[in-house]
Amino acid sequence: MAAPKKNENDLPDKLHVWPYLVRLEFLCSIVVMIFLTVWSITIDAPLEEAANPSKTPNPSKAPWYFLGLQDILVYFDPWFAGVVAPVLIIVGLMLIPYLDVNPKGNGYYTYTERKVAIWVYAFGFLVLWIALIIMGVFLRGPGWNLFMPWQYWDPHKVVALTNVDLPYAFGFRDYWMSSLFGGAVVIGYFVIGTGVYFFTERKALKSVGFMRMFIKINLLLIMVGIVIKIVLRLGFNIKYVWVTPWFNI
């Protein structure tokens, strides 16, 4: 016997946690535990041969959740890909609530009220994090070379390294001149990017605040810069943009 359908607005706004939420949590736990148990019965955790420090596997891969970071090692030196980038990701994520001052979209799904925020986060998460992980797990073979899923992982695959540094491509041959040029490009990118942002958003400066806008645009420029570096490397065979005696970018 079907009960007459009640109008949503007539129902009380607040419900008792017992039984409504607790039973949901209980059911959800049972479903997940069944799934996990079946998974654990059918698929065994891997155990390879005993650890052997004198036998390096090729490729050597970090745990899958770090393969996005391992993949940007192709484009950046370890100090950036392995240390500075993860720190910036963590700090940047923590800063999100303090940088995003848009009061709309608090507690409900909306795209139209916060397009930029959703694009930035979805791009960072789905492309720079998840897509690079998928690539690292399935497409990176021996020598960290790219292999399509149907290709044999040939450990002797030779890939010609014809990369040059950006100043070299622009005709600079002197070490210090190259370094100056590279520095000008990198610093110029951030200065101009910040300047353009402050100019276009000058009306927001008063309400949003200088520090907030400055940190926001520079974190964004770093994120976009990673993409630019990937494109420069894959499309134009550029190794470093800025070479100095202490670090290379």
Partner 1 sequence: MATKPNIPNFAEIMNDIKSGKIFSDIAKQITESQIWTSSFRHGYADTPRNRVLQIASNVWLHLHPVKIHRHALRIKFTWCMGGITFLMFLVTVVTGVILMFYYRPVGEYAYYDMKYLQYDVPFGMLMRNMHRWAAHSMVITVWLHMFRVFLTGSYKPPREFNWVIGVFLVTFTLLLSFTGYLLPWDQLAMWAVTVGTNMARATPFLGHEGPFAEFVGVTSRYDARSVLLGGSLVGPPALLRFYVLHCILIPLIAGALMIVHFWRIRKDGGISGPL
Task: Give the count of residues interacting with partner 1 (CB under 8 A).
Answer: 74
226: number of Cβ within 10 Å? 19
The answer to whether 172 touches 181, Cβ cutoff 8 Å, is yes
Task: Output the CA–CA distances (angstroms, integers) from residue 228 to 180, 207, 225, in the order listed.
Answer: 20, 31, 5
Structure tokens at 88: 């910036």
The one-letter amino acid at 18: W
> Cα–Cα distance between 241 and 80 in angstroms, integer?
14
- For partner 1, the binding residue among 34, 61, 127, 202 (CB under 8 A) is 61
Q: Which stretch binds partner 1 (CB under 8 A): 99-107, 166-174, 189-197, 202-210?
A: 99-107
127 binds partner 1 (CB under 8 A): no
34: number of Cβ within 10 Å? 10
Name the minimum Å distance from CB 87 to partner 1.
10
79 binds partner 1 (CB under 8 A): yes
Binding to partner 1 in span 17-36, by CB under 8 A: 17-22, 24-25, 28-29, 32-33, 36
237: left (phi over 0), alpha (psi -120 to 50) or beta: left
Taking the least distance from each CB to partner 1, the nearer of 119 and 170 is: 119
Taking the least distance from each CB to partner 1, the nearer of 104 and 202 is: 104
> Cα–Cα distance between 130 and 67 in angstroms, integer?
9
Binding to partner 1 in span 142-201, by CB under 8 A: none
Taking the least distance from each CB to partner 1, the nearer of 130 and 164 is: 130
Taking the least distance from each CB to partner 1, the nearer of 155 and 195 is: 155
Structure tokens at 194: 């910040």
112 binds partner 1 (CB under 8 A): no
Taking the least distance from each CB to partner 1, the nearer of 28 and 192 is: 28
> Cα–Cα distance between 147 and 135 in angstroms, integer?
10
Q: What is the torsional sign of CA 23, 28, 31, 36? A: negative
Name the minimum Å distance from CB 165 to partner 1.
17
Structure tokens at 36: 């996990």
Taking the least distance from each CB to partner 1, the nearer of 37 and 237 is: 37
> Cα–Cα distance between 119 and 2 in angstroms, integer?
45
Name the minimum Å distance from CB 188 to partner 1.
21
220 binds partner 1 (CB under 8 A): no
241 binds partner 1 (CB under 8 A): no
39 binds partner 1 (CB under 8 A): yes
237 binds partner 1 (CB under 8 A): no
Name the minimum Å distance from CB 171 to partner 1.
27
Name the minimum Å distance from CB 195 to partner 1.
27
> Cα–Cα distance between 242 and 82 in angstroms, integer?
18
